Amino acid sequence: MTDHCDENLCYSHFSMPLLGDEFPELKVNTTHGPMNIPGDLKGSWFVLFSHPADFTPVCTTEFLGFQERITDFEGLGCRLIGMSIDQVFSHIKWVEWIKENTNTEITFPIAAANDTIAMQLGMLHPGKGSNTVRAVFVGDPEGKVRLILYYPQEIGRNIDEIVRAVKALQISDKKKVAMPANWPLNSLLKDRVIVPPPNNIEDAKKRPSQYDCYDWWFCHKPLEE
Q: Which residues are catalytic?
A: 59
> DSSP 3-state assignment of 113?
coil
Radius of gyration, alpha carbons of the chain: 20
Alpha helices for the chain (secondary structure H):
57-68, 70-75, 88-102, 115-120, 159-175, 201-210
**Cα–Cα distance for residue pair 208/59, rounded to 1 Å:** 49
Give Cα 136 to chain centroid, integer Å.
4
Q: Are 198 and 204 in contact (CB under 8 A)?
A: yes
> DSSP 3-state assignment of 94?
helix
Alpha helices for 76-213 (secondary structure H):
88-102, 115-120, 159-175, 201-210
Q: List the beta bridge partners of residue 110.
A: 82
**Cα–Cα distance for residue pair 125/39, rounded to 1 Å:** 26
190: left (phi over 0), alpha (psi -120 to 50) or beta: left
